[in-house]
Amino acid sequence: MIDSLKKTMLAGIGAAVITKEKVEAALNDYVAQGKISAADARTMAGKIATEARQEFEDMGDQLAAKLKELLARLDAETRDRISSLETRVNVLEQAAKRGSGGSKKS
């Protein structure tokens, strides 16, 4: 499960790097074509980078919340299973005591 999460995060980071390169290339093309100035391209690149960073952080926060929720649910299920097993063990111990007490007739 952890490996899947790591792969997902790394894929997201890889996509961000590719997207950054594509944005820079597109902005450089616009500068070369004279559609925008180099200063405007830098401003746009900065704005896009800031928004992308914020979006990545938001996704990270959402992922952390989901993981916390999942782990809490698994922890609750584990506690329920342990409680159920403890009950079964107690019942079996009581039955064993009753069974061994009755067989000690002399």
- For residue 98, being part of any structural domain is answered with no
102 within a domain of the structure (yes/no)? no
Instruction: Give the residue numbers spanning the domain of 56.
Output: 2-71
Residue 33 located in a structural domain:
yes
Over 80: is that where the pLDDT of 1 sits?
no
The pair of three-digit structure tokens given for residue 71, joined into one six-digit string? 């782990």
Q: Between 13 and 24, whose confidence is greater?
A: 24
The pLDDT of residue 9 is 63
Structure confidence by residue, pLDDT tens digits, 43-102: 888 888 788 778 878 888 888 888 888 888 888 889 999 999 999 999 999 999 998 765
- Residue 5 in this model has a pLDDT that exceeds 80: no
Q: What DSSP string describes 81-101?
A: HHHHHHHHHHHHHHHHHHHHH
* Per-residue pLDDT, 106: 44
From residue 78, give the alpha-carbon distance in Å to each of 67, 68, 70, 82, 89: 16, 15, 12, 6, 16
